[in-house]
Amino acid sequence: MKEFNVIDHFFKAKSIQRKDVIVGIGDDGAVTHIPQGQALVTTTDTLLSGVHFLPETSPHAIAQKAVAVNLSDLAAMGAEPAWISLSLSLPAVDEAWLEAFSNGLQEHAEYYSVQLIGGDTVQGPLAITITAQGFVPFDQALTRSQAQPGDSIYVTGTLGDAGLGLDIAQKKYVLEDQLNTDYLLNRLNYPTPRLMAGTCLRRVASACIDVSDGLVSDISHILKASGCGATVHIDKLPMSQALKESVSSQQAIDYALSAGDDYELLFTVSEEQKGHLETTLANANVHATYIGQLNGSVGKLEFRQADKPYEFNVKGYQHF
């Protein structure tokens, strides 16, 4: 199959049609319409075989994770997704692989109502780059930089699941419980972008980030950008039943603090907005947990457990 046949067969034919796409796949560029009063949010993430996913990961999961991690970035900005572009580097045209990959992509595109509007296809080591674009009312984007001392820190969902999932996938752990194994592997391979949480947090959160590299690493980005310090309460970290049942409580804390790939939203809320937060999250059926407080000790991150200082040294995932 030639490159253009691959594109037509696996990507153009399976793409959904949004009304705001004037020209989609097949021309030199995509042409799209941005609604009045909305700002365009753009984000890109690359998934490399052996770095972001294990080489044996199913193409279906790779496609869905590539979409999800990008939509997670849009969620962290408070944006609603609209379009994605796909740059695909493939060692060879493997039709079975492409079939499973493009089906995974199509399912997520349909579920999240995002249209694949273009991309590039080249021969090379397996690498998937997706650019996602979405909208946020022009003055309501969530950033990392507007948090204030005194704000409360929250996180959606549970932390550490994908980290243990990775260790299970790498055979560092074998759990007896199959349901827990499946749950944790699923959290690694099929992350859920917290889009509903992100839109609820517009005008409510003072800062927001998605937890891709681990809580410690990602909270530090907010502290740096906002010029704050933080105290995080170890006993409040939200952890799944599966994580707690599978490892010691000390290991569970380490996963929750430092493991990446959970794609939960970490956000801060001022005292005045707390009531608003509770109603908006409850109405949308979104769950978030209070884990600590910002303060004025710029760049300092401390942990407390049962009201005593808690020492933590492991860092989140760093590429360089």
User: Closer CB to ligand ADP, residue 31 or residue 34?
Assistant: 31
CB under 6 A: which stretch of 116-124, 130-138, 145-153, 272-280 binds ligand ADP? 116-124
Compute the least distance from the CB of residue 212 to ligand ADP, in Å.
23
Using DSSP's 3-state secondary structure scheme, residue 26 falls into coil
Determine, following the binding rule CB under 6 A, whether residue 88 of this chain makes contact with ligand ADP: yes
Report which of 200, 202, 224, 210 is spatially closest to residue 141, judged by C-alpha positions.
202
Choice between 29 and 37, CB closer to Mg ion: 29
> Which residue in 2, 17, 28, 307 binds ligand ADP (CB under 6 A)?
28
The residues, any chain, with a CB within 8 Å of residue 161's CB and separated by 6 or more, are: 183, 184, 187, 188, 240, 242, 243, 255, 262
Residue 120 within binding range of ligand ADP, rule CB under 6 A? yes
Q: Are 64 and 105 in contact (CB under 8 A)?
A: yes
Say if strands 229-233 and 127-137 run parallel, antiparallel, or are unpaired: unpaired
Binding of ligand ADP by 128 (CB under 6 A): no
Place of tokens 């074998």: 174
Task: Give the full edge-to-edge strand order of the sheet including 115-123.
Answer: 38-48, 127-137, 80-90, 115-123
Look at residues 139, 142, 30, 131 and name the one whose alpha carbon lies nearest to residue 75: 142
Residue type, 293: Q
| Tally: H helices and E strands in the chain | 10, 13
Contact status: 27 vs ligand ADP (CB under 6 A): yes
How many residues interact with ligand ADP (rule CB under 6 A)?
Answer: 13
Regarding 11 and contact with ligand ADP (CB under 6 A), the answer is yes
Does position 132 interact with ligand ADP (CB under 6 A)? The reply is no
Q: Does 105 bind ligand ADP (CB under 6 A)?
A: no
Strand pairing of 301-305 and 229-233? parallel
Residue 134 touches which member of Mg ion, ligand ADP, none, C-beta under 5-8 Å by kind: none
For residue 35, what is the DSSP state? P
Nearest approach in angstroms of CB 8 to ligand ADP is 8
The answer to the question of residue 35 lying near ligand ADP (CB under 6 A) is no
11 interface partner picked from ligand ADP, Mg ion, none, CB below 5 to 8 A per type: ligand ADP
CB 41 within 8 A of CB 140: no
- The one segment of 20-28, 56-64, 194-202, 222-230 that binds ligand ADP by CB under 6 A: 20-28
Residue 91 within binding range of ligand ADP, rule CB under 6 A? no
Contacting residues toward ligand ADP, per CB under 6 A: 7, 11, 25-28, 86, 88, 116, 118-121
